[in-house]
Amino acid sequence: MKKIINKLRIKYPQLTEKDLLLEDKNEEEFLRMIEYKLQKTKKEMAIIISNL
């Protein structure tokens, strides 16, 4: 998951450190929050993550 977070940070600089902090969230919550922040659907996020 750390690799994905680092790649998201590079590809989407609008995501803040707080957005990318996984400590208090489970993976599903984290992905939902990122989907919302980037205005992407779950399917679009799956494609983005698979292409990272």
Assess contact for 8 and 52: CB atoms under 8 A. Answer: yes
Categorize the per-residue pLDDT at 22 as very low, low, confident or very high, splitting at 50, 70 and 90.
Answer: confident
Would you state the pLDDT for residue 41?
95
Query: For residue 27, what are the contacts with CB-CB under 8 A and spacing of at least 6?
Result: 1
Q: What is the largest CA-CA distance in the chain?
A: 26
Q: What is the mean pLDDT of residues 1-11?
A: 89
pLDDT digits (tens, 9 = 90+) for 24-37: 678 888 889 999 99
Length of the chain: 52
Residue 5 exposed, middle or buried by CB count within 10 Å (0-12, 13-18, 19+): middle
| pLDDT at res. 35 | 93
Tell me the HSE value of 45 on the side-chain side, using a 13 A CA sphere.
18
